[in-house]
């Protein structure tokens, strides 16, 4: 199918079509619409052709199992297949063909689910970068995506594809390699931590007051969790600190805390200060952008109190939007009331 046959597509979806066509060697509308009737019919047809669907249904019934295996008798305390129904036993070449067809159908279904999610992500975008997605990246992505069958992981992969189409080089090949080897449990752990990730131009981090006790008490994130994420290469293994240095001129630092923006204005010659953090690696920082942040007001207020040192001014506002060039629009900034834990509303 050519792009000209998909009249009315937006620029983001036109670029999406081009990337998918390169990744799978062609394009059909089933890649555009998640779980549509055509895609479902294709899946069922392929399963039927491979006899896999029929065999699975037969396996659920003892009667059908007997038709495949023949009569089963107990002889001297052991199960014995007495008279197999040879007419129902597939030959080795046929079983190989069936397995290949079933596997190909499953891989096709996985790709269509993931690309459908990506299409949904791009459906409401008005513009994307004009830069092309690299062919090597496309090849590596679809090589991994065809094996992703868990629904939650498919959502993650769909968002990655959409993000790379919007802005190439957002997700490195190292990130794809890590993701194809991560388990669902590990992905859920990362998501749990990424929900409270604070972002700045220097990377993403989680505040770590009280040497981890605050995070364990309030978010059930333990030392073992940090160790696991460190082993995966998503979190720096060391406990680190973020530094606001003493400068000859005033400086402004912007932090993104979920749907809130926190702005720290540090006057000239204000003394240097630090606050403890858990720092995401470069791969972890790439993946943080995929997670919807869920930050309690108390957590944002805790962070604000940590950066409110000396004569710094700390304000906050609600994020309205973030442009592709990084420009942030937000509501009018207000100062935190450090006499209350509910000032960031």
For residue 199, give both structure tokens. 């972002």
Q: How many angstroms separate the CA atoms of 309 and 314, rounded?
A: 9
Same domain membership, residue 264 and residue 199: yes
Q: How many angstroms separate the CA atoms of 107 and 119, rounded?
A: 18
pLDDT at 200: 92
Which of 159, 181, 203 is the endpoint of a domain? 181
Which of 161, 181, 201 is the endpoint of a domain? 181
Q: Tell me whether residue 292 is in a domain.
A: yes
**Nearest to residue 113, comparing CAs of 154, 165, 74, 152?**
154
**Of the ranges 61-75, 76-90, 215-229, which is most confident?**
215-229
Q: Which tens digits make up the pLDDT trace of 242-276?
A: 998 899 999 999 999 999 999 999 999 999 999 99
Q: Tell me whether residue 312 is in a domain.
A: yes
Q: How many angstroms separate the CA atoms of 205 and 199, rounded?
A: 7
**Nearest to residue 197, comparing CAs of 57, 134, 291?**
291
pLDDT at 236: 95
Q: Tell me whether residue 327 is in a domain.
A: yes
Same domain membership, residue 36 and residue 154: yes
Q: How many angstroms separate the CA atoms of 154 and 112, rounded?
A: 10
Same domain membership, residue 232 and residue 200: yes
Q: How many angstroms separate the CA atoms of 308 and 291, rounded?
A: 27
> Quick check: 257 and 300 in contact, CB under 8 A?
yes
pLDDT at 100: 85
pLDDT at 325: 73
Same domain membership, residue 155 and residue 249: no
Write down the pTM of the prediction.
0.75
Same domain membership, residue 204 and residue 222: yes
- As a whole number of Å, the CA-based R_g of the chain is 27
Same domain membership, residue 145 and residue 14: yes
Q: Tell me whether residue 217 is in a domain.
A: yes
**Of the ranges 195-199, 306-310, 338-342, which is most confident?**
195-199
Q: Which tens digits make up the pLDDT trace of 160-209?
A: 999 999 999 999 999 999 999 999 999 999 999 999 999 998 899 999 99
Same domain membership, residue 304 and residue 251: yes
Q: Tell me whether residue 305 is in a domain.
A: yes
Same domain membership, residue 325 and residue 224: yes
Q: How many angstroms separate the CA atoms of 47 and 50, rounded?
A: 5
Q: Tell me whether residue 60 is in a domain.
A: no
DSSP state of 85: -
Same domain membership, residue 143 and residue 207: no
pLDDT at 311: 87
Task: pLDDT band for 337, please (50, 70, 90 cuts).
Answer: confident
Same domain membership, residue 200 and residue 175: no
Q: How many angstroms separate the CA atoms of 204 and 86, rounded?
A: 62
Q: How many angstroms separate the CA atoms of 244 and 7, rounded?
A: 52
Q: Tell me whether residue 36 is in a domain.
A: yes
Number of domains in the chain: 2
Q: Tell me whether residue 244 is in a domain.
A: yes
**Of the ranges 22-31, 83-92, 142-151, which is most confident?**
142-151
DSSP state of 258: T
Which of 181, 200, 224 is the endpoint of a domain? 181
Same domain membership, residue 108 and residue 231: no
Task: pLDDT band for 44, please (50, 70, 90 cuts).
Answer: very low
Same domain membership, residue 157 and residue 41: yes
Structural domain harbouring 260: 188-335
Q: Which of 47-56, 212-221, 283-292 has the lowest mean pLDDT?
A: 47-56
- Provide the mean pLDDT of the chain: 83
Name 23's bridge partners. none
User: What backbone phi and psi angles, to 5 degrees, belong to 199?
Assistant: -115, 145
């Amino acid at each position: 199918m050519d792009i000209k046959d998909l009249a009315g597509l937006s620029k983001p979806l036109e670029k999406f079509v081009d990337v998918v066509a390169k990744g799978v060697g062609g394009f059909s509308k089933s890649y555009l619409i998640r779980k549509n009737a055509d895609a479902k019919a294709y899946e069922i047809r392929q399963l039927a052709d491979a006899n896999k669907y029929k065999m699975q249904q037969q396996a659920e019934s003892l009667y059908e199992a007997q038709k495949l295996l023949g009569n089963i008798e107990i002889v001297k305390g052991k199960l014995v297949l007495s008279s197999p129904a040879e007419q129902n036993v597939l030959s080795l070449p046929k079983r190989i063909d069936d397995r290949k067809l079933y596997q190909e159908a499953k891989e096709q279904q996985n790709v269509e689910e993931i690309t459908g999610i990506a299409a949904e992500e791009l459906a409401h975008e008005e513009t994307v970068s004009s830069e092309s997605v690299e062919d090597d990246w496309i090849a590596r992505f679809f090589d991994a995506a065809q094996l992703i069958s868990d629904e939650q992981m498919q959502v993650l992969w769909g968002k990655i594809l959409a993000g790379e189409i919007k802005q190439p080089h957002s997700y490195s090949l190292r990130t794809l390699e890590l993701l194809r080897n991560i388990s669902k449990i590990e992905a859920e752990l990362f998501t749990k931590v990424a929900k409270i990730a604070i972002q700045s131009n220097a990377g993403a981090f989680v505040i770590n007051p009280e040497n981890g006790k605050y995070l364990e008490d309030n978010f059930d994130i333990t030392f073992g969790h940090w160790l696991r994420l460190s082993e995966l290469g998503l979190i720096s293994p060391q406990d680190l600190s973020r530094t606001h240095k003493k400068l000859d001129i005033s400086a402004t630092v912007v932090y993104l805390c979920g749907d809130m923006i926190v702005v720290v204005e540090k006057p000239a010659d204000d003394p240097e200060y630090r606050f403890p953090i858990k720092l995401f690696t470069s791969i972890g920082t790439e993946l943080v952008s995929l997670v919807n942040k869920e930050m309690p007001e108390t957590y944002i207020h805790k962070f604000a109190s940590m950066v409110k040192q000396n004569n710094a001014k700390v304000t906050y506002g609600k994020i309205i939007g973030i442009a592709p060039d990084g420009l942030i629009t937000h509501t009018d900034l207000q100062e935190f009331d450090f006499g209350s834990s509910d000032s960031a509303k």
